[in-house]
Structure 1
Amino acid sequence: PTDIGQIIEDTVALMESRAKEKSIDLSFSLKDLKPVQADPKNIEEILNNLISNAINYSPEGGNVTVSAQGLGEYMEIKVEDTGVGISPEELPKIFDKFYRVKHPKTRQVTGTGLGLAIVKGIVDAHQGTIDVESVVDKGSVFKILLPMITE
């Protein structure tokens, strides 16, 4: 069993300095958490990728919020940002290997285009789902559902 709350707290603490460099407010909230059957290193990898992207693609002074809550038999993890957003045409492709969002404000963001493909692979391996809602120039919300351990 894995304590998602602790992993979120630790990951947010690790990312705090990167957020501060861009004057981004990085916060988290936890509610009704139960353990999930997951590899802690994999959960760290998911959070590192999603939070890192949220910081990279948000403007100075933006907000990034990480939240987790129990929803029935699932744990919902959300990473929300006030970044550049993703166009409706690009949304279906963002989990493809090597795909990078094309936006004039993101040219300076470096990366391989593998992060979200890795995240999706990990979520799938844990019998979970990942979903994204996004509005160009307003931000994105990445939502993951993972099965909780229910006794």
Structure 2
Amino acid sequence: MISRRSTLLALAAIALLGGGCTTVGAKREPAYSGPTKTIKGYLRGSPLARLSPSSVVYITAYDATNGNSKPMPVIGETSFTLGRSGYFPIAYEIEIPAAKSAPKVALSVQIGTPGRILFANDRQYSQTTGRSMDIPMGETPPRIRNFRRGL
């Protein structure tokens, strides 16, 4: 028969282990309680770059009204799993709150798999007017390995 003390310790251990687990993947889109502004377009990349169905696209929108002289506040973010094998272009869409929408928005985009970024825009592309923007994507450089401890 299991003692009461061992049962409580087992439950505490399960709670600690379960609380530390996280999933790496697409995040849910935030639910805004008000009018939104939608920015959409295409992510353009090399026509030879092959994307897997498990690739996740992360998009973050920043308020770039004051430039990058100080940290830019995040005004919206979204992510989605590609869900198909294929090539560029990839259609995207991000909603930002209209009440907080800035006259100048900068978008940061990354495409990757859990633990690895495959493609990213080389700088944050800004838009001042309009609701569509195509973003060129480039491959990230390979990681440099540390061989101090041998191969």
Shorter-normalised TM-score: what interval?
Answer: under 0.3
Looking at secondary structure, tell me which structure has more helix per residue: 1
| TM-score, normalised with respect to structure 1 | 0.27
Larger radius of gyration: 2
